[in-house]
Amino acid sequence: MLMNGLHIFIRPDKGSSEDNVFYTQRSHGPMYRWHYELARWHVARVNVSDWGSNELCIARWQSVPQELKARLSEHYIE
């Protein structure tokens, strides 16, 4: 299920240190960092002024783990 206006990003410059990290933003809303730890996905709001948006690249929907897709649908309630 694709959510309207949701963008999912990764930071390729971080390499394997952030293999289980994704960033999301819906429309012009806040940016969130999702990371997998202790067998579940955790989310935290991030301050985008700490780094440039050019550090991010769009993640393919197919590369997003199923468990994270479920959490995203809970987080971004339509």
Write out pLDDT tens, residues 19-53.
789 999 988 889 999 999 999 999 999 987 777 66
CA angle 26, 3, 13 (to 5 degrees): 55
Task: Let me know if residue 16 belongs to a domain.
Answer: yes
Percent of the chain's residues with pLDDT above 90: 50
Q: What is the pTM of this model?
A: 0.84
What are residue 8's DSSP bridge partners? 24
Q: Are 64 and 22 in contact (CB under 8 A)?
A: yes
Task: Let me know if residue 11 belongs to a domain.
Answer: yes
Task: Let me know if residue 37 belongs to a domain.
Answer: yes
Task: Let me know if residue 1 belongs to a domain.
Answer: no
Q: What's the chain's average pLDDT?
A: 85
Task: Let me know if residue 66 belongs to a domain.
Answer: yes
Domain that holds residue 12: 6-75
State residue 2's pLDDT score. Answer: 53
- Name the domain count of the chain: 1
State residue 47's pLDDT score. Answer: 86
